[in-house]
Structure 1
């Protein structure tokens, strides 16, 4: 099954599915990069700092 076929089954664009798979590989430690959890913390901190 191709990524395009699988994406169609999920009702998403193939590029979206590629990004999800890449993110899962990073979160699992299979590829280098910033994990989802590591990227959430600075974003939450910036929101907290910007609050009036």
Structure 2
């Protein structure tokens, strides 16, 4: 069973990940979107690529 301290640490980790991901998305939005397509209806933006790395 996880302790309160374990859960607190996990919350800190996921909060940092979400904050960092949000910063990447906001930076991408501010610089304009470059959209590529993998297929006919399958767009991929630089933000998508950055989120996967």
- TM-score by length of structure 1 reads 0.35
Larger Rg: 2
User: Which structure shows the bigger proportion of residues in strand conformation?
Assistant: 2
Structure scoring higher RCO (CA < 8 A, sep ≥ 6) equals 2
TM-score (norm 2): 0.35
